């Protein structure tokens, strides 16, 4: 709790207390804590002098401001049309098998959240996905196993 309070204060000092800085503040929290907890949103409400409902209403509008999926690595697989045509379902199946979770769920230990998303702007190289900020294209089940294997081995 104390930590969240500090973090919010730091961000509010950096960006400013006005409403127009709400998104940068929420994104700053998200980057540090992997999602927006209820405590964090309440703290923002207090420090930016807004109602908690306003904060939640705003945050829940945006798909990259997670209020539930709290995995450290968020895997977002594109489900828009050309990626679907290129074989997105197989990619999802492979990921579900490896992670033992369904789309929308987070693995035990909160390492990975598996999500679907709309067009990532990589349609000429589909199927495509993001893992946090990194993008991966022209996916095949074998390629996904390799990529994810590396995350599992090295990156946490």
Partner 1 sequence: MSNIKLRKVDVIFSPYSVAPYEILKNAMKRSKDEVVQELIDSGLRGRGGAGFPTGLKWKFAKQQESDQKYVICNADEGEPGTFKDRKLLVEVPRKVISGMAICAWAVGASKGYIYLRREYRYLVSHIEEELELYHKFAKEAGLDFKIEIFMGAGAYICGEETALIESMEGRRGEPRNKPPFPIKNGYLGKPTVVNNVETFASATMVCRMGADEYKKLGTDDQRGSKLFSISGDSPKKGVHELELGMSLEDFANEFGDGDTKAVQVGGVAGFCIPKKQFKTTIIGEGNTTGGSTMIFNSTRSMYNVLHNYLDFFAEESCGQCTPCRVGTQQLLKGIEAVKSKKKPPEYLDQLVKLAETMRLTSKCGLGQSVTNSFSSIVKNFREEMIY
62 binding partner (options ligand FES, partner 1, none; Cβ < 5 to 8 Å by kind): partner 1
Smallest gap from Cβ 117 to ligand FES, in A, equals: 9
The whole-angstrom separation of Cα 52 and Cα 78 is 32
Is 136 one of the binding residues for ligand FES (CB under 6 A)? no
The whole-angstrom separation of Cα 24 and Cα 8 is 11
Smallest gap from Cβ 127 to ligand FES, in A, equals: 7
Which C-beta is closer to partner 1: that of 98 or that of 125? 125
104 binding partner (options ligand FES, partner 1, none; Cβ < 5 to 8 Å by kind): none
**Is residue 135 within 8 Å of 120, Cβ to Cβ?**
yes
Burial class (CB in 10 A: 0-12, 13-18, 19+), 91: buried
φ/ψ of 87, rounded to 5, equals 110, 30
Which C-beta is closer to partner 1: that of 84 or that of 108? 84
Is 131 one of the binding residues for ligand FES (CB under 6 A)? no
Is 78 one of the binding residues for ligand FES (CB under 6 A)? yes
Instruction: Using CB under 6 A, pick the residue from 37, 58, 82, 132 that binds ligand FES.
Output: 82
The residues of the shown chain that bind ligand FES, judged by CB under 6 A, are: 78, 80, 82-83, 119-123, 126, 128
């Amino acid at each position: 709790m104390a930590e969240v309070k500090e973090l919010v204060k730091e961000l509010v000092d950096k960006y400013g207390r006005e409403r127009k800085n709400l998104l940068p503040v929420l994104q700053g929290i998200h980057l540090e804590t992997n999602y927006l907890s209820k405590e964090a949103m309440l703290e923002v409400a207090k420090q930016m002098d807004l109602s908690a409902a306003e904060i939640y209403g705003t945050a829940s509008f945006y798909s990259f401001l997670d209020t539930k999926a709290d995995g450290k690595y968020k895997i977002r697989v594109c489900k828009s049309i050309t990626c679907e045509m290129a074989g997105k379902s197989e990619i999802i199946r492979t990921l579900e098998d490896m992670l033992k979770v369904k789309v929308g769920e987070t693995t035990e230990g909160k390492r990975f959240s598996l999500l679907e998303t709309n067009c990532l702007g990589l349609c000429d190289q589909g199927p495509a996905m993001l893992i946090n900020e990194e993008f991966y294209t022209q996916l095949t089940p074998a390629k996904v196993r390799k990529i994810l294997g590396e995350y599992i081995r090295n990156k946490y």
